């Protein structure tokens, strides 16, 4: 039997890039060190602390601001090709604007990048993983159209400082969480809770900001540095509950990944037609004088269309969808309900069920709807409670990687895979109650000791062998750098 298994071991394509990801607020700590100023997540956790499950915050987090050398050591232990991390806007620009560049903040990221380059690890840098400068929020944040220039100016500073060494850029992480959650609900900063209004203003401005940034890089930096720029989309899969519900699930996709991917990757650009129609009709019926969906000008449609070299997919889970009669009072513009059956295998997070075939279907959807773009899976991972024996996480990674290989064999253009996360971190409103790390972090000790979980050893073997051995059992005694 073992021989049969060994013969069926699947290989990853040549040149495929393996990595792991983190985000600045979730790991760095040092929230006000060396000139850094307040962001919307500092503001939320300090002013509304118990909207976080354990009333915790990211003031210290995993203390990566001081422990970045250990982080790079972990990346070397795992043998990763790339490491995806994000920059804190106010660490670099304390006013939010380029009038004052904070040398200490720039130095921190230079130290981290240089340490990675020294060991041949490719930096994949996210400019914005949810930490808007608080002062910019007070001026409306992503709902203020001027944010498109604030963001583009920040991006230009970043390209000037780090562009010589960073070849993979992600402008923005998960617009859906920024706008729909942060502006349309209270589940992310700035907890504005203006669903159907502020989330759509945010969506428009964010896409324009992204496109301006893409064109700045393309015109001014790409000729000398030759890197690529994309965006990371929250990309969950919506499966029809039955054969009759194909249209409903399709609508859920358009209101999910489509809201942000369609304007960039679809041939015709712009928000999906179904979104434009539904929001416009509902707005009229509700007594608004114009559609709550803030529409793009033709010039903006053209500027946004094609403004990415690759699509970053943050994929975790799958939902079942069916058509439902949503009333005008419900403030929901899609006429679809989505849910996860209790029978689906769960994780430590209520929303995260393990459905690997959802990734296969998602990649197929992206290939068909967006003209087979280059895909980088920029996040995929599983939550547990603390503890080093994480067989559930191991099976999650194996099965999702297997589903990804199904898609690649069918011609999906997937160039890289990034595990979320390198280490345990501040999980937003879940605080430190759930863990996503390949490495466990001990948040009770001052030195935030990092210890590899069993999944770290298995992932390391996958990366080393460039293959998926379904029965490999690691020796978890010693982690080494090979
Ligand atoms: C991502 N969902 O957020 C973020 O990019 C990370 O910062 C975060 O730590 C990680 O996933 C785990 O939560 C998501 O509801 C939040 O499907 C919600 C969903 C997906 C991703």
Query: SS3 string of 381-431?
Result: CCCECCCCCCHHHHHHHHHHHHHHHHHHHCCCCEEEEEEECCECCCCHHHC
CA-proximal residue: ligand 1, atom 12 (nearest): 427
d(CA 214, CA 264): 11
Residue nearest to atom 15 of ligand 1 (CA): 351
Tell me the C-alpha distance between 353 and 239, whole Å.
13
Q: pTM of the full predicted structure?
A: 0.98
Average pLDDT over residues 308-324: 98
Atom of ligand 1 lying closest to residue 349 CA: 13
The alpha carbon of 336 and the centre of ligand 1 are apart by a number of angstroms equal to 22
Q: What is the mean pLDDT of residues 330-343?
A: 97
Specify the pLDDT at position 156: 98
Q: What is the mean pLDDT of residues 101-109?
A: 98
Q: What pLDDT is stored for residue 8 in this prediction?
A: 80
Q: State residue 133's pLDDT score.
A: 99
Q: Is the CB of 351 under 6 A from ligand 1?
A: yes
Instruction: List all residues 6 or more positions away from 30 whose beta carbon is below 8 Å from its beta carbon.
Output: 36, 60, 63, 65, 66
pLDDT at res. 103: 98
Per residue in 140-164, pLDDT (tens digit) is 999 999 999 999 999 999 999 999 9
Residues 6+ apart with CB under 8 A from 466: 11, 12, 16
Atom number of ligand 1 nearest to Cα 23: 7
Q: Residue 248 C-alpha to ligand 1 middle, in angstroms?
A: 24
Alpha carbon distance 72, 59 (integer Å):
21
Average pLDDT, the chain: 98
Residue 4 has pLDDT above 80, yes or no: no
Give percent of the chain above pLDDT 70. 99
427 lines ligand 1 (CB under 6 A): yes
pLDDT digits (tens, 9 = 90+) for 365-397: 999 999 999 999 999 999 999 999 999 999 999
CB-ligand 1 contact for 234 (6 Å cutoff): yes
> Where do the H-state alpha helices sit in 296-376?
298-304, 357-369
* 265 within ligand 1 shell (Cβ under 6 A): no
**375 touches 411 (CB < 8 A):** no
Give the tens place of pLDDT for each residue, 166-218.
Answer: 999 999 999 999 999 999 999 999 999 999 999 999 999 999 999 999 999 99
For the segment 328-353, the average pLDDT, to the nearest whole number, is: 97
Residue 474 burial (10 A CB sphere; 0-12, 13-18, 19+):
middle
Which residue's alpha carbon is nearest to atom 16 within ligand 1?
177
pLDDT reported for residue 43: 98
243 is a catalytic site residue? no
What is the structure's pLDDT at 457?
98
The answer, yes or no, to whether any atom of ligand 1 lies below 6 A from the CB of 23, is yes
Note the pLDDT tens digit of each residue in 427-440: 999 999 999 999 99
Q: Which residues pair with 232 in a beta bridge?
A: 173, 312
Fill in the DSSP letter of residue 129. S
Task: Answer whether 291 contacts ligand 1 (Cβ < 6 A).
Answer: no
pLDDT tier at 228, thresholds 50, 70, 90: very high
Q: Which atom of ligand 1 is nearest to the CA of 427?
A: 9
Number of neighbouring beta carbons within 10 Å of residue 281: 12
Q: Which of 239, 379, 430, 440 is catalytic?
A: 379
The tens digit of pLDDT for each residue in 50-74 reads: 999 999 999 999 999 999 999 999 9
pLDDT > 80? residue 326 = yes
Residue identifier of the C-alpha nearest atom 21 of ligand 1: 234
């Amino acid at each position: 039997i073992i021989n049969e298994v060994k013969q069926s071991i699947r290989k990853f394509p040549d040149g495929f890039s393996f990595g792991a990801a983190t985000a600045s607020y979730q790991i760095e700590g040092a929230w006000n060190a060396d000139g850094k100023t307040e962001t919307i997540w500092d503001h939320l956790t300090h002013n509304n602390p118990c909207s976080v499950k354990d009333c915790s915050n990211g003031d210290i987090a995993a203390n990566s601001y001081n422990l970045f050398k250990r982080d790079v050591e972990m990346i070397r232990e795992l043998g990763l090709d790339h490491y995806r991390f994000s920059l804190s806007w106010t660490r670099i620009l304390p006013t939010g604007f380029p009038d004052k560049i904070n040398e200490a903040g720039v130095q921190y990221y230079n130290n981290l990048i240089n340490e990675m380059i020294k060991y041949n690890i490719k930096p994949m840098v996210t400019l914005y993983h949810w930490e808007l400068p608080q002062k910019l929020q007070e001026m409306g944040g992503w709902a203020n159209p001027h944010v498109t220039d604030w963001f583009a100016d920040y991006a230009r500073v970043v390209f000037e400082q780090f562009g010589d060494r960073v070849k993979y850029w992600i402008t923005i992480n998960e617009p859906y969480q920024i706008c729909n959650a942060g502006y349309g609900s209270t589940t992310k900063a700035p907890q504005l809770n203006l669903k159907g209004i502020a989330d759509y203003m945010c969506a428009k401005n964010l896409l324009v900001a992204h496109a301006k940034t893409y064109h700045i890089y393309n015109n001014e930096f790409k000729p000398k540095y030759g890197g690529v720029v994309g965006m990371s989309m929250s990309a969950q899969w919506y499966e029809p509950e039955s054969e009759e519900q194909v249209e409903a699930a399709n609508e859920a996709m358009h209101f999910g990944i489509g809201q942000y991917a369609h304007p960039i990757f679809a041939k015709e650009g712009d928000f999906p037609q179904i979104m434009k129609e539904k929001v416009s009709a509902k707005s009229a019926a509700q007594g608004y004088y114009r559609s709550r969906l803030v529409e793009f000008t033709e010039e903006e449609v053209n500027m946004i269309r094609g403004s990415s070299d690759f699509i970053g997919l943050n994929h975790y889970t799958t939902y079942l969808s069916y058509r439902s009669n949503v009333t005008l009072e419900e403030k929901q513009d899609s006429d679809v309900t989505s849910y996860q059956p209790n029978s689906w295998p769960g994780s430590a997070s209520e929303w995260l069920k393990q459905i690997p075939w959802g990734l296969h279907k998602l990649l197929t959807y992206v290939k068909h709807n967006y003209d087979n773009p280059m895909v980088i899976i920029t996040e995929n991972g599983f939550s547990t409670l603390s503890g080093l024996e994480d067989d559930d996480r191991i099976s999650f990674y194996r099965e999702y990687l297997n589903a990804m290989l199904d898609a690649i064999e069918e011609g999906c253009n997937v160039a890289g895979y990034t595990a979320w996360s390198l280490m345990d971190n501040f999980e937003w409103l879940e605080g430190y109650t759930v863990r996503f790390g390949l490495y466990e972090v001990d948040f009770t000790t001052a030195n935030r000791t990092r210890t590899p979980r069993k999944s770290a050893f298995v992932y390391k073997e996958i990366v080393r062998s460039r293959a998926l051995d379904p029965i490999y059992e690691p020796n978890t005694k010693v982690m080494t750098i090979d």
